[in-house]
Structure 1
Amino acid sequence: MSLSPQTAENADNRFSNTFLRLKKKLERGVGEAIADFNMIADGDTVMVCVSGGKDSFSLLSILLALRERAPVDFRIVAMNLDQKQPGFPADVLPAYFESIGVEYRIVTEDTYSIVRDKIPAGKTTCSLCSRLRRGIIYRVAREIGATRIALGHHRDDMLETLFLNMFFGGKIKAMPPKLVSDDGQHVVIRPLAYCTENDIARFARAMEYPIIPCNLCGSQENAQRKQIKAMLNGWARDYPGRIESLATALQNVVPSHLADQRLFDFQGLTRDTVVSEGDTAFDPPELPAPAAEIIHVGSPRAPSVGTST
């Protein structure tokens, strides 16, 4: 059977030097994030939440590739929640999971009807949809004995959330690479924390994943997040290195130079108080290395899932 020109081209792309470098870059980023935040340990069961979008497809592929050469043994279970959206192609993900030989679990819950019933027409459905989805994910994680829940959020998602919380929530708060779930029973990890959306999109196109759009809220993208994304994309275009600097800042917090009294004892501060930087706020900022030299945002490396010792 002959391949169509488009299929043949994409197959060639997956063996090109450009694609192999991209694949290696993403695997290195995921491996380093796993090591930096101790995301996966020997004997873990990692439930990878696969929505049918480019990010979760890529996360699953990269974790499967890293597991082949990881210094630890861990189980991967792909999980998809079929929310009964009209027209959802229920056969696509099971067929894909079986084609790559990964253990999987498909869960069917009609959250679509609940959201449509509770949210007035034209209003953003993301908040309620996310809460319902999280509850189901936690339940399934307990059922399969998952010790880690892996989500496909990447570096751009984390930065967008930081600015959303600053602009609209009055908090300096982003998406952490690792956290305890709302119910206190699970550890949630984001192994793509060092990966950019642009790299993931390029990888997904070459891999030809069977992408499934979200018809419930995909056409009414959150207006505030859309504004933040446009702002960050503009900075990336006009000011090379700025996004890398912002990502680095997430790991370089100086509580004594903010104003949160829960993090630093300003009332008890005296001349004898030891602080990390003193009055350097009046000095010129220390700029990071040029963008071309920045590979990741992390601490000095420990042996990781994605690297050899």
Structure 2
Amino acid sequence: MAKRSRTKMSNVEKKVRRLMGRALQRYELINADDRILVALSGGVDSTSLLWLLHDRLGRIPITYKLFAVHVGLGFKGEDYSSVQAWVKSLGIPHQVIRSEFGPRAHSAENRENPCFLCSRLRRTALFEEAGRLGCNKIAFGHNLDDLIETFLINIFYGSQVATMLPRQPFFNGEITVIRPLALLDSGTIRSFHQKQSFPLTVNPCPSKNSGKRQEIRELL
């Protein structure tokens, strides 16, 4: 269980805690005895989310179990070691799934958008791992900007007006996806991440600065 911090909180930490707490309560994201798989890419959002959920255990009267799971994409130059060591220092159970999803999505055989295929493969792997670990929830680090971007992508490029939801049940409620950072904008999370000096894994994907999502970000 995380220990309550004795240091004075910065304003950005207070804001992050307040808005995540509001999302957890408003959307009823976490219940007592939940087993939560945290999808840990090693980026700003997912590392911040893992730490916040871990730290929250020492501040609330209910308990839940966290499992950090990283899906390696198989790109050359991937280095997850600093984040892996950090998770170990927190005492959180941790799994690394090795894959070739990245190269497969960018291969000539793939007729789909590489980001779409890679996302689907990663999501499938996470659901399978959640089942293996007996987890009833999967926590993603999607923030408010991600939800807005997805909404606009569906308007401009899709056939429906929809976005990601803070809480989405799957398989008749057997597993529920939760997004505790849904009320936080990306800038606030970045500031919090920098203030806390969390480790960071650089994304080596060749498509990270292209595609429909990047077009929407530039529009915004």
Q: TM-score, normalised to structure 2's length?
A: 0.88
Write out per-residue CA displacement over residues 191-236 of structure 1, whole angstroms, 9 at most, x where no aligned residue: 00111101001111222222212222454421x322322333xxxx
Shift of the alpha carbon at 1:94?
Answer: 2.0
Amino acid at match of 2:216: I
Contact 1:154 1:197 in 2 (8 A): yes
Is 2:35 the counterpart of 1:45? yes
Distance in 2 (CA, whole Å) between partners of 1:97 and 1:49 is: 13
The equivalent residue for 1:230 is 218
Unaligned 5+ segments in structure 2 are 1-6
- Which residue of 133, 144, 149 maps to 1:144? 133
Contact 2:151 2:163 in 1 (8 A): yes
The equivalent residue for 1:31 is 21
* CA pair 113-168 structure 1, distance change in 2 beyond 3 A: closer
The equivalent residue for 1:126 is 115
Amino acid at match of 2:200: I
Distance in 1 (CA, whole Å) between partners of 2:110 and 2:82 is: 28
CA RMSD of aligned residues (A): 2.1
Distance in 1 (CA, whole Å) between partners of 2:218 and 2:209 is: 16
- Please say which structure displays the higher CA radius of gyration: 1
Contact 2:36 2:65 in 1 (8 A): yes
The equivalent residue for 2:68 is 78
The equivalent residue for 1:116 is 106
Q: TM-score, normalised to structure 1's length?
A: 0.64
The 3-state SS of whatever aligns with 2:71 is strand
Shift of the alpha carbon at 1:81?
Answer: 0.9
* CA pair 67-110 structure 1, distance change in 2 beyond 3 A: same
Shift of the alpha carbon at 1:183?
Answer: 8.6
Contact 1:81 1:107 in 2 (8 A): yes
Runs (4 or more) in structure 1 with deviation over 6 Å come to: none
The equivalent residue for 1:158 is 147
The equivalent residue for 1:302 is none
Shift of the alpha carbon at 1:64?
Answer: 1.2
Distance in 1 (CA, whole Å) between partners of 2:103 and 2:157 is: 29
Shift of the alpha carbon at 1:114?
Answer: 2.1
